Chain A
Amino acid sequence: MVPPLGGQGVNIKKIRADFPILSTEMNGKPLIFLDRGASSQKPNQVIEAMDEYYKTTHANVHRGVYNLSQRATDQFEAARKTMQRFINAKHDHEVIFTRGTTEGINLVANSFGRKYLKEGDEVLISAMEHHSNIVPWQMACEVAGANLKVIPINDLGELNMTAFAEMVNEKTKIIAVMHVSNSLGTINPIKEITAFARKRGIPVLVDGAQATPHIKIDVQELDADFYVFSAHKMYGPTGMGLLYGKEELLNAMPPYHGGGEMIETCSFEKTTYNVLPFKFEAGTPDIAGAIGMAAAVDYIEEIGHEAIAQHEYDLLTYGTEKLKAIDSLQIIGKANNKASVISFLIDGAHPYDVGAILDKLGIAVRTGHHCTQPLMDLLNIPGTVRASFGVYNTREDVDVLVAGVARAARMLT
């Protein structure tokens, strides 16, 4: 017997009604949106919170003496508190607003790199990293004369933890790994990594872009030194993200961008810097973005992280079983601990061709290297077709996908 639509624990009908875009069409077919991995859709609650802010509360923050500016500041700082609670940070000043995961990593690579990376030092990343967690470190290494080292993965697409342990040495200055792989779905053993690094006094940066919409994050329990993510992958607005950093580290690091807000006093001779979090928030921030991100957190928490994870796990297992029944299909990424991402290939068909056909059937999937080109080179494939599920997807969406993939396979091979 097929379990009720959408697995257990979430009111899927109500959730789908929250996302206006899900009732639109693509290429004349009902939209089946399976690209949460690239960006999630937005519920009314987020859209309206931002709309409401612009209509009733907007003024620049931390500046005005007037009431409106005070109210905008209150909402902006309330958003910071919401984010602090969301990741269970010890202090709200450990929450730095950014433009997204990419900016968060660039901030740390640049600022931490300038202070702590010296010639001959090593930065340790993994083979499954997104370009955003490769390139900033390459740039920092180039400046310092340091070397980038890469933790290999096994055939299932999991980190080789034995190799990891062997690669850490006295030259290792920072470890930067993703929590959940955007290409393979692998959930990495972050606690194991931080525990190992802690004994050796090496800080760990975790790229949580794919984790926050799926897993309850507790940065203190994870013992991450830095944790970065984007709002737009977790039902919030684009151009908004968060960098969590331990107070001690953030205080020791030099500012990244210079400008307004981040100064304490400024003269032509000498500028002194503001305290956390403002030291790292130069310029007028994305106030509406922060409010939107906090609204997305409220949305997630109202449904409940556990219910979301359970719902998405149901779609993952259901989808994997159904897709595996297609003869010519192989799943890329078979980790034991996996988030709701299914990457696959059809023998003899280019991922682009499969994606192009699915597009005409109203199905939005990602095709290509998913900004993990080194990983695709390592797996010796041109890329994959990737379906990634969000809280609003259903088993019916999976059925449409599977029928579309089967049709594409028939046409292309």
Chain B
Amino acid sequence: MTINEIQDEIIDEFSFFDDWMDKYEFIIDLGKKLPLIDASAKSDDKLIKGCQSRVWLDAKANGGKVQFTADSDAVITKGIISLLIRVMNDQPAKEIAEQELYFIDKIGLKEHLSPTRSNGLLSMVKQMKMYALKLA
């Protein structure tokens, strides 16, 4: 699937939820399921500093495509990361760098991207794109 096909799939999944608590239940569930990042990758240079929760992100190139692993000490953040990884993992580096992530706005997560929430998500997306640019 392409990045946009996955984004549309997520938007579709979220359309079933009536209120935020259901969305959070779903995101928390994703967070709990996210495969843990390798302990050696939890180093300070992989840390995306946010005010409230810590996020580690690692990327590897695999034949023109990029594979991401990540972790956070907050489970909602982890669930959101898991969505980002689902969209961008194993995609061509060039597309990761260039594709607009419209699903974040569509499923109502945009507020989590505002700098005032300071949970590092904005930096997380930036960092994923930076890795992709570097590996492209």
Contacts and interface: CB of A to CB of B under 8 A. Distances in A.
Interface of A: 27, 349-353, 355-357, 360-361, 367-368, 382-383, 407, 411-412
A328 B119 CA distance: 24
B127 to A, nearest CB: 19
Given A357-B76, A367-B52, 5 more contacts: A27-B20, A352-B119, A353-B77, A357-B21, A368-B52
A183 to B, nearest CB: 15
B73 interface: yes
Interface of B: 19-21, 24-25, 28, 51-54, 73-77, 119
Contacts of B77: 350, 352-353
A349 B74 CA distance: 7
Most chain B CB atoms below 10 A, which of A350, A356, A360? A356
Given A356-B24, A360-B24, A349 B51 contact: no
A411 B21 CA distance: 9
A367 B77 CA distance: 14
A350 B50 CA distance: 14
Contacts of A368: 51-52
A383 B75 contact: no
* CB-CB nearest 3 A-B residue pairs: A350-B74, A360-B20, A352-B52
Provide the main secondary structure of the chain A interface: helix
Nearest to B31: A353
B75 A353 contact: yes
Given A27-B20, A349-B75, A352-B74, A412 B28 contact: yes
A351 B50 CA distance: 14
B101 to A, nearest CB: 20
Contact of A352 (B19, B24, B76): B76
A383 B52 CA distance: 8
A361 to B, nearest CB: 8
Given A368-B51, A368-B52, A412-B28, A353 B21 contact: no
A382 B73 contact: yes
Nearest to B73: A350
B48 to A, nearest CB: 14
A366 to B, nearest CB: 10
B75 A350 contact: yes
A382 B50 CA distance: 12
Nearest to A356: B76
Most chain A CB atoms below 10 A, which of B20, B28, B74? B74
Nearest to A413: B75
B18 to A, nearest CB: 12
Contacts of B76: 352-353, 356-357
Contacts of A357: 21, 24, 76
Contacts of A411: 21, 24-25, 28
Contacts of A383: 52
A343 to B, nearest CB: 15
A335 B39 CA distance: 38
11 contacts: A350-B74, A352-B52, A352-B74, A352-B119, A353-B28, A355-B52, A357-B21, A361-B21, A382-B54, A407-B21, A411-B25
A198 B119 CA distance: 46
Contacts of B54: 382
